Amino acid sequence: MAERVLMKGNEAIAEAAIRAGCRHYFGYPITPQTEIAAYMAKKMPKIGGVFLQAESEVASINMVYGAAAAGMRVMTSSSSPGISLKAEGLSYIAGSDVPALVVNVQRGGPGLGGIQPSQSDYFQATKGGGHGDYRMIVLAPASVQEMASLTIKGFNLADKYLMTAMILADGTIGQMMEPISFEDAQIETYEKPWALTGTNGERKHNIVNSLYLKPDELEVKNFERYERYKTVEEKEAMWEEYMMEDAEYCVVAFGIASRVAKNAVVAARAEGIKVGLIRPITLWPFPTKPLAAAAEKVKSFISVELNMGQMIEDIRLATGCKKPVSLCNRCGGMIPSPDEVLAAIRKAQKGE
Amino acid sequence: MKTTQILIAGFGGQGVLFAGKFLAYKGLTENLQVSWLPSYGPEMRGGTANCSVILSEDPVGSPIVTAPDVLIAMNLPSLQKYVDTVVPGGKIIVDSTLIDAKVERTDVEAFYLPATQLAKDAGFATLANMVLVGKLMKECSAVPFAGNRQTLESFIPAKKANLIDINCQALQTGYDF
């Protein structure tokens, strides 16, 4: 058996980032993700890396932009209100086609909200957040092991497709400890022709910018970018299916909500209700394929979320509104109990 | 398919999180699936704190313990808050130095030990938490009592290694009570 260590989800992200070759971390503290910065502050100086607590979230995302433009594997992390502050930088990074990893360990919102776990930044992560036409790869870990493996995956994908990968976690997965192993970590490296390696008097200056004043040029840039996004959509969707073979009802949930939902699915099966679970691991690209397939055979979907039902729109799009989607949710930092989800499954079975 | 869901609750500063951490590491040494989830928030010394630990032979679903098999209550508000969440047939371990009340439910097993007093008398006043964990290990077979020292050594930093002995003694005190 692989060697297992107990780690907090936030620490797992930081350790995985270091193993993935990240040597530049810029951040600003906010609960419930501060352990990431604390871990980086302790480790980075020992391995010749940079840990910098910036004067604000805006400064830290622009430092990420700068390091990415220099060709470094770079990251920042924050929680909901802090990510809103970073939105401008996210858009600039997208407009400059440089890779970065951004972690959002979500807390309840809107506004300053609270500090308890939430999934209410789904729209912000998957539909934009910053201005302009752009996408981010959004990865939703449901365990401490995935906090690590998806961080590594995120760096790989960001470099491969020249875009931002976001880890969309929540306070629970950030704060909890579970055993993890780094044995299967697959770290990929990609050529970065724009990296600052010295011109040697030969290479031309490389300018990284998101400013295109000629509309035809800006249009071409956007078209090119969306060609890349298309490839991501075709190739990179990830999901887990659980007890879906004979399912008549399908629970859809990601992150911590999927863990609670799994308990409820097991309990419902014990009552003879044929229910399964589809857990999106990438929220963008959204796993449309398994949902479209499920829509052909299940009677209805139940979306379990820690928000007011933001993912329902994507479920409806993926399934062409073929089957009804009901919502089982808590928000503001509250988490549904397995019993609440079980009740929602029973209701779906009764067609309510 | 054995799963034990444990909830430890008390004041901040009583070592609630550490007690849970020990059990989680104990599960890790036993090659079990484990999860440890602290309550987090603007809590501080004197406020409330609790922690969910799940030890299982199967992958852990929800890490949030809403229906504990075992509850360790280290103060009265915690006992009052969680007594009704314990599953029928479950166990409640009460620090009777700090809690005067008795468990009124008859479908659970309650164990009372003056953990704070026992710890104080034995010269490790801050380790009532581990005395209670020792009792938990006696009454619940989720993890074996043997090998505690190795588990403690696996996660207590070297500069605090001098605390390992008294932690072992505290566990033994609770186990023998």
Note the ipTM here: 0.93
Mean pLDDT of A16-35: 97
Q: Model confidence over B51-66: pLDDT tens digits?
A: 999 999 999 999 999 9
Contacts of A178 in chain B (CB under 8 A): 34-36, 60, 63
- The per-residue pLDDT for B46 is 65
Superfamily of domain B3-176 in CATH is Pyruvate-ferredoxin oxidoreductase, PFOR, domain III (3.40.920.10)
User: Contact B41/A338, CB-based, under 8 Å?
Assistant: no
User: Contact B155/A6, CB-based, under 8 Å?
Assistant: yes
User: Contact B24/A6, CB-based, under 8 Å?
Assistant: yes
Q: Partners of A180 in the beta sheet? A: A5
Sign of the dihedral through C-alpha A236, A237, A240, A244: negative
Mean pLDDT of A290-300: 98
- The per-residue pLDDT for A205 is 84
Tokens standing for residue A173: 């997965």
Domains of chain A listed by start with CATH number: 5-199+222-235 (3.40.50.970), 239-349 (3.40.50.920)
> What are φ and ψ of residue A252, in 5° steps?
-115, 125
- Which chain A residue is nearest to residue B155, measuring alpha carbons? A6
- At a CB cut-off of 8 Å and minimum separation 6, what does B63 contact? A172, A176, A178, A256, A259, B35, B36, B37, B52, B54
Residue B41 pLDDT exceeds 80: no
Contacts of B41 in chain A (CB under 8 A): 115-116
A31 touches chain B (CB under 8 A): yes
Least confident of A92-101, A201-210, A239-248, B62-71: A201-210
Least confident of A2-11, A65-74, A75-84, B69-78: A2-11
Q: Model confidence over A186-206: pLDDT tens digits?
A: 999 999 999 998 888 888 888
- The per-residue pLDDT for B12 is 86
Is residue B15 a contact partner of residue B151, using CB atoms and an 8 Å limit?
no
Least confident of A34-43, A49-58, A203-212, A274-283: A203-212
Query: What is the radius of gyration, based on Cα positions, of chain B?
Result: 15
How high is the mean pLDDT of chain A? 96
b/e sequence B143-166, b meaning 16+ C-beta within 10 Å:
beeeebeebbeeebeeeeeeebeb
Query: What is the radius of gyration, based on Cα positions, of chain A?
Result: 20
- The per-residue pLDDT for A200 is 86
- The per-residue pLDDT for A1 is 52
User: Contact B24/A116, CB-based, under 8 Å?
Assistant: no
Contacts of B31 in chain A (CB under 8 A): 1
Q: Residue A293: name the closest of A252, A350, A233, A338 by CA.
A: A252
- The per-residue pLDDT for B47 is 74
What does the domain layout of chain B look like in residue ranges?
A: 3-176
Among A177, A240, A251, the residue to mutate for chain B (most B Cβ within 10 A)? A177
Q: Model confidence over B93-152: pLDDT tens digits?
A: 999 999 999 999 999 999 999 999 999 999 999 999 999 999 999 999 899 999 999 999
Residue A114 pLDDT exceeds 70: yes
B97 touches chain A (CB under 8 A): no
Percent of chain B clearing pLDDT 70 (strictly above)? 96
User: Contact A31/B40, CB-based, under 8 Å?
Assistant: yes
How high is the mean pLDDT of chain B? 94
Residue A243 pLDDT exceeds 90: yes
Calculate how close chain B gets to A342, using CA atoms only, in Å. 13
